[in-house]
Structure 1
Amino acid sequence: MMTNLFSSFDPSTNFNLSLNWMSIFLGLLLIPPMFWVIPSRINLLWIKIITTLHKEFKILMGNNNTQGSTLFFVSLFSFILFNNFLGLFPYIFTSTSHMTLTLALALPLWLSFMIYGWINNTIHMFAHLVPQGTPPVLMPFMVCIETVSNIIRPGTLAVRLSANMIAGHLLMTLLGNTGPAISLMFTNFLIITQILLLILESAVSIIQSYVFAVLSTLYSSEVN
C-alpha cells in the first residue's frame, strides 16, 4: 500500500533498493539485436522512423548544419522514447518523470549552444535579442523579454517532459486506487478508461520525446 500518492515516483520505494535508476539503461538492451539479426518488420519500421527524423532535423538546422549533428538529436529522441515507454510497464521506474534526468539532458544542451553561439556568432546572438521590425521605443523591453525567454528554455524543456509523464501516471494511479471501492459494473468502465488512458500515455510518450528533440534542434539552429 502506498503511503503517499507521489511515492510511485520515489526511486527508493520499491524493494528498498536504489537500483531503480538502472531503468535508464534498459532501453539499450533493445538496440544490439538490430545489428546481428536479419531485419524484421519492427527493425525496418524503426529505420524508417530514424530516416524521417534525420531528414526533418536536417531541414530544421538549415544550411549551416554540422555533419553528424542530426545523429545526436535522433539518439536523444530514441533515449527519451525508450525511457517513456518503459515507464508504462509495471514495476519499472519512470526516470523521465524526475527533473534530475530531464534537467541533466536540457541544461548541458542549452549551455553548449549558448557558449558556442556567444563565442563564435556574437553579433548574430545580439541580433536575436531584437526581432526584426520592432519599433525603437519597444527595443529595451524586447531585449528583456527575449533574454528571459532564452534563460528559461532549459527549465521549460525539463518541466514539460517531466510534468507530462507525472500527470498521466498520477491519473492512472488515482483511478486504479478506486477499483476495490466501486461496484462490478463501474469496474468495467474503469478498465476501459484505464486502457484508453494507457493508449493516451503511449501517444504522449512519443509526442514528448519528439517535442524535446525538435526544440533542441531549433535552439541549436538559432546559434549558427
Structure 2
Amino acid sequence: MSNLFSVFDPTSSIMSTSMNWVSTFSGIIILPMMFWLVPSRMTIMWNKVTSTLHKEFKTLIGTNGINGSTFIFISVFTLILFNNFMGLFPYIFTSTSHLVVTLTMTLPLSLKFMIYGWINHTQLMLAHLVPQGTPPVVMPFMECIETISNLFRRSALAVPLATDMIAGHLLMTLLSNTGPSITYSIMMLLLVTRLPLLVLESALAIIQSYVFAVLSTLYSSEVN
C-alpha cells in the first residue's frame, strides 16, 4: 500500500529542493503569455468561459455583492482547473490531491466571509446563527456552536476535491501497474478501458473546479 500511495508523496527533488510543487506555479508563467498575442481561438474561448462564469457568479451573489468579487471565484476556478489538468499528465505531481493545498484555499475564504459578515452585518449573522424560539440563556452557546459548524461546513469543500483526485489517480495507477504482467491482447483491452477513464477524469477535473467555485460563491452570498 505504501508503493500504491507513493505517487501522491512529494518526494522528487533536485539538489535537495522539492520540485513537485513547481507544476502548481507553472501556470503563472504559461497562462499570461497568451494575452500578449493576437487574439486566437484559445483566448476567445477562454474569454467566453470567464464571461459566462462572471454572469453566473454575479447572479448567485446578488445585487448586494461587491463589484468585482466574482473575479475572485473565477481565479479560484482557473487555479483548480489548471492543477487538475496538470495532474493528468504522466510524471506530474497533482497538488490538488493534497489537503495542504485545498485547505489553503478554503480556510482563508471561509474566514474572510465570516469576518466580513460579523463586521458589516452583525445582526443578520446573529439572527442566522440562532434558531427561532431559542431561550436567551442558550443563545451564547448556540452562537459558538453554529459559528464553528459553519466554519467546518465551508472548509469541508477541500475534502471532496482531494478525495476525488486521489480516487481517479489511484484507479489509473492500479490499471497501469498490471501492464508488465499481462498479454498483448489483454493489454489492448486495458488501453481501451483507460481511454473512457481518462475522459472521465478530464470531466471530473472540470466539474470539481466548477463545484468548488459555485459553492464558495453561495457561501459568500450568505453574508451579503
The TM-score, its normalising length taken from structure 2, stands at 0.89
Q: Which residue of 1 aligns with 2:6?
A: 7
Percent identity, aligned pairs only?
61
2:100 is aligned with 1:100: yes
Residue number in structure 2 paired with 1:203: 203
- 2:84 paired residue number: 84
Check the 8 A contact 1:23/1:83 in 2, yes or no.
yes
Once residues 122 and 3 of structure 1 are traced to their aligned partners in structure 2, the CA distance between those partners, rounded to angstroms, is 49
Q: How far has the Cα of 1:155 moved from its partner? A: 3.4
Residue type of the alignment partner of 1:197: L
Following superposition, the deviation at residue 34 of structure 1 comes to 2.3
What are the Cα deviations for residues 190-221 of structure 1, in whole angstroms up to 9, with x where unaligned?
A: 11111111111100110111111111111111
Matches of 1:205 and 1:70, distance apart in 2: 21
How many residues were matched structurally? 219
- Deviation for aligned residue 1:129: 2.7
> What is residue 183 of structure 1 aligned with on the other side?
183
Q: CA deviation at 1:128?
A: 2.1
Residue 112, structure 1, aligned to residue 112, structure 2 = yes
Structure 2: where are the runs of 5+ without partners?
Answer: none
The one-letter code matched in structure 2 to 1:50 is T
Distance of 2:190 and 2:120 partners within structure 1: 57
Q: Deviations over 1:90-124 (max 9, x none)?
A: 11111100101000000011011111111221111
Between Structure 1 and Structure 2, the one with more helix by share is 1
Q: CA deviation at 1:30?
A: 2.9
- For 2:2 and 2:67, the matched residues in 1 are separated by 51
Deviation string, structure 1 residues 26-71 (Cα, Å, up to 9, x no partner): 1223322222111111111111000000000000000111111111
Unaligned runs of 5+ in 1: none
Cα distance in 2, alignment partners of residues 73 and 80 from structure 1? 11
Q: By how many angstroms is 1:130 displaced?
A: 5.1
CA RMSD of aligned residues (A): 2.4
Aligned twin of 1:33? 33
TM-score, with structure 1 as normaliser? 0.89
Maintained 8 Å contact 2:110/2:151: no
Q: Which runs of 4+ in 1 moved over 3 A?
A: 13-17, 143-149
